[in-house]
Chain A
Amino acid sequence: MELHEAVGALRREIILDAPRDAVWELVAEPDGLAGWLADDVDLPAVEPGAEGTVLEGGELRRVTIEEVEDGRRVALSWCAPGGDPSLVELTLDDAEDGRTRMVVVEVPLATLRAVAVRTEDAWAAAGRTRGPQMAVAA
């Protein structure tokens, strides 16, 4: 099961009528992101750790680039004023006929933390299968 299915996060998939390197130019450069991701993008670069802001519909979000996998994936976190921070992942894949599939996943960070905790719960559950009376470690 994919993460977004497990936690009910937001997911969008789109087929773009352009090769992956052309789409990547609009993902991997601040100037490329400006005009589609947001009206304005103020980032020094699309590199891990880069921090800046994006302006969309008059709303300024703080944004941090978290991960970059060259030609394929950019993960960023952002937070709207008064909102809950969320993680956004943009993933590119080659589609048929020289086109490109882009998958967008947005997950509130609090959800990701809960999923990490759940892994510990899974271990506790595995231990418990040895006997129904066994107490769960807190």
Chain B
Amino acid sequence: MERTAADPGPVFAALADPTRREVVRLLAAQPGLTASALADELPVSRQAIAKHLAQLRDAGLAEAEHTGRETRYRLTPEPLAGAMEWMVAAGAQWDTRLERLKRRL
């Protein structure tokens, strides 16, 4: 699924949850972890991990790799760059707006 800088919602939404941020942190450190391995590292069930992984995949932040009977996950962080671009662009616009407001007072 393609994401652009103008469409940051799904990425921010995916990262709005602290457990998902932990999943992202673990996958960044150890690419190729399985859902069970992630569940061992975090105080949540394997089913909950599976749900979080599905949301990360929907946001384009993770992909699954099927090897034999195992499914391994790795990060695909490109959409993060889009979300950061939105943040930087929107931030610059607000800096401009607030400067204009200051001058009007």
Residues of A at the B interface (CB closer than 8 Å) are 6-10, 12, 14, 16-18, 22-23, 26, 35-38, 56, 80, 82-86, 102, 104, 106-111, 113-115, 118, 121, 124-125, 128, 132, 134-136, 138
Contacts and interface: CB of A to CB of B under 8 A. Distances in A.
Contacts, number: 102
A23 B105 CA distance: 7
Given A10-B87, A83-B7, A121-B17, A36 B104 contact: yes
A93 to B, nearest CB: 15
A132 to B, nearest CB: 8
Q: What is the interface residue range for chain B against chain A? A: 20 to 34
A18 B19 CA distance: 43
Interface of B: 6-10, 12-17, 19, 44-45, 47-48, 51, 86-87, 90-91, 93-95, 97-98, 100-102, 104-105
Contacts of B102: 14, 16-17
